[in-house]
């Protein structure tokens, strides 16, 4: 009978959103991450590239109420 075990193990760690057991994201965390990603992508697209990815994610987090605006943030 042929060996069906894969002898090659992944060389990189499995991303947290695909893990099972400790370190895996809960469904609520996955939903929040998806909302943050979607909003940040929309903000960056609407800015025609004027916002960096970091700025878009920060602004999305502020809009979702996950972060408080920094004193120098223009809202």
Q: Hey, what's the torsion of the CAs at 40, 41, 42, 45, to 10 degrees? A: 120
Q: What is the pLDDT of residue 29?
A: 84
13-68 pLDDT, tens digit per residue, is 666 556 666 667 788 888 888 999 999 999 999 999 899 999 999 999 998 887 77
Confidence of residue 70 (pLDDT cuts 50, 70, 90): confident
Q: Are 44 and 51 in contact (CB under 8 A)?
A: yes
C-alpha dihedral sign at 51, 52, 53, 55: negative
> How buried is residue 59: exposed, middle or buried, by Cβ count under 10 Å (0-12/13-18/19+)?
buried
| pTM for this prediction | 0.59
Q: How far apart are CA 30 and CA 13, in angstroms?
A: 19
Does 57 or 12 have the greater pLDDT score? 57
């Amino acid at each position: 009978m042929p060996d069906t075990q894969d002898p090659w193990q992944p060389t990189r760690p499995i991303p947290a959103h695909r893990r099972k057991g400790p370190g895996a994201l809960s469904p609520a965390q996955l939903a929040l991450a998806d909302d943050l990603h979607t909003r940040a992508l929309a903000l960056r697209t609407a800015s025609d590239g004027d916002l960096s990815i970091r700025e878009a994610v920060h602004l999305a987090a502020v809009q979702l109420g996950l972060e408080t605006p920094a004193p120098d943030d223009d809202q």
